[in-house]
Amino acid sequence: MAIQNIVVFPGSFDPITQGHVALVKRALPLFDKIIVAIGVNSQKKYLFSLEQRLEWLEETFQDEPKVEIAYYEKLTAHFCKASNAKYLLRGLRNASDFDYEKTISQLNAIVVAGLETVFLISEPQYSHISSTIVREIIRGGGDASPFIPEAIKIDL
């Protein structure tokens, strides 16, 4: 069997946004498999349950055979190693994202030797969207539908 180019796209996906979906679709031609993985942090307060977020990811990518959905605890780099992924996928919306992600990428490469981070710059129509902002819209009773995939139905 040929060696696969596997990439992990980690995040909280609380909730998944149109920007996340666009990033995965742009990465599809680059990799044999994309593992969209929810990192579970027991210290973090989520708006949506892990089960709900996994369900949304499954629904969003159900027609993409190269996309696998997973979740993990502990270090992202260790999850990559356990998944035989040699790459991490990260999106960059702005210079602040770059500064933060560059540091994380360098640390991940130390934790797991050879783990490379691939950065894709957000398309302009998605560069203003973040899960944090979408959560605030939802908490405030606003319409978040322009920012999230159609598969997500939020009833608050």
Residue 79 lies in a domain: yes
Q: How many domains does the chain have?
A: 1
Tell me the pLDDT band of 155, cut-offs 50, 70 and 90.
low
Is the previous residue joined to 15 through a cis bond, with omega within 30 degrees of 0? yes
- The CATH number for 65's domain is 3.40.50.620
For residue 97, the enclosing domain spans 6-147
Environment class of 80 (CB within 10 Å of its CB; exposed 0-12, middle 13-18, buried 19+): buried
Residues involved in catalysis: 20, 44, 93, 131
77 in helix, strand or coil? helix
pLDDT at 73: 95
* pLDDT digits 0-9 by tens, 30-63: 999 999 999 998 888 999 999 999 999 999 999 9
- In this prediction, what percent of the chain has a pLDDT beyond 90? 90
Entry pTM: 0.94
